[in-house]
Structure 1
Amino acid sequence: MTYVPYTNIAIGWSAAFGRCDVRVASKGNGRGSVVIDRTPASTFLIAMGSYRRARADDRIPGVLNGVAPGGLLAKRGWPGDGLRRDGRQTGCRLWLLEDAKQTEATRQAAIRYLDESIGQIATDHGHNYSVSATWTARGRLQASASAFGTIVSTPVVVGGGA
C-alpha cells in the first residue's frame, strides 16, 4: 500500500459555536493566513459531518407509513457527488440514526457508517485506521475515527436525544 500524504485547508471544531470553520493563523494587524493541515483530521471532520446520500434500502428518518418527507431531497447527500463519474460518495450516513432507538444494533450501524466513510478515505491515502461509537448519554453516541495518532470525534444525536 502506497501512502499518499494529506494536504488540506485546516478545519477546526468550535464547541462555543457548535460548528466547524476554517482555521486561520493570526499574523498581527488584523491579518492572518489559512492553516494547512497535513493530518487526516480535517478530511475526517468533513467526511463525518457531511451527509452521504441514503441508499435505496435505507430507512429515512421521519418516514411515516413508507412516505418520506421532502420527496427527492429526503435522501440528502453531498452535492458534488452528482458530478462524480466513478459513483463514489462523500460523507457519512450517521444522519440516518436521527430517530433510531438506543440499542446495540444502532451503535453497530454507526460503526458501519463510519467504516464506509473513513475506510474509503484511508484506502485512498494508503493507511490503516480505526472507528468506534460509544454511548455517552441517553440518546447520544460519540462517533470517533483515528489514524496516525489523530482522533476525530463527533456527537451523534439518536432518537431526538430523549
Structure 2
Amino acid sequence: MTYVPYANIAIGWSAAFGRCDVRVAARGNGRGSVVIDRTPASTFLIAMGSFRRARADDRIPGTLNGVASGGLTAKRGWPGDVLLGDGQQTGCRLWLLEDAKQTEATRQAAIRYLDESIGQIASDHGHDYTVSAAWTARGRLQVTATALGTVVSTPVAVGTGS
C-alpha cells in the first residue's frame, strides 16, 4: 500500500464551544492565514462530524412505528455521494445513535460506524489506524481515531433511548 500524504485546511475541535472551526495562524497586524494540516486530524474530524447516508436496514432516529419524518431527507448523507464510484460514501453514521440506549451494543455500533468511515480514509491514504469508543457520562460517548501518531477524539451525544 502506497502512502498518500494529507493536505487539508486545518480544523480544530473546541471543547469550550462544542464544535469544530477552521484554524487560523496569526501573522501580525491583526492578519492571519488559514493553517494547512498535513496530518489525518482534520480529515478525521470532518468525517466524524459529517452524516453518511443511512443504509436501507438502518433504524432512523425519531421513527414512529417504522415511519421516519423527513421523507427523502430522513436518511441524510451528502448528495454528492452519487458521483463517487464503487458505492463509496463520505461521512459517518454516528448520527444514527441520537436516540439509542446507553448500552454495550450502542458502543459497539459506534465503533463499527467509526471504523467504516475512518477505515475508508486510512485505506485511501495507505496507512493503519485504530478506533475506539468509551462512555464518559450519561448520554456522552467519546469516540477516538488514531493514525500516524495523531489522536482525534470527540464526544457524541447519545440519547438514553426508551
Same fold (TM over 0.5): yes
Displacement of 1:161 after TM fit?
8.8
Deviations 1:100-128 (A, max 9, x none): 11111111000000000000000000000
Tell me what 1:78 maps to: 78
The runs of 4+ residues in structure 1 deviating greater than 6 Å are: none
Displacement of 1:160 after TM fit?
5.3
Unaligned residue ranges in structure 1 (runs of 5+)? none
Tell me what 1:121 maps to: 121
- Root-mean-square deviation (CA, aligned residues, Å) is 1.5
Identify the range of structure 1 (13-22 vs 118-127) with the bigger mean alpha-carbon deviation: 13-22
Displacement of 1:71 after TM fit?
0.9
Number of residue pairs aligned between Structure 1 and Structure 2? 162
With the length of structure 2 as denominator, give the TM-score of the two structures: 0.95
Deviations 1:84-103 (A, max 9, x none): 24421110000000111111
Partner Cα distance (1:30, 1:161) in 2 = 48
Tell me what 1:100 maps to: 100
Tell me what 2:141 maps to: 141
Tell me what 1:19 maps to: 19
With the length of structure 1 as denominator, give the TM-score of the two structures: 0.95
Displacement of 1:24 after TM fit?
0.8
Tell me what 1:88 maps to: 88
Percent identity of the aligned residues?
86
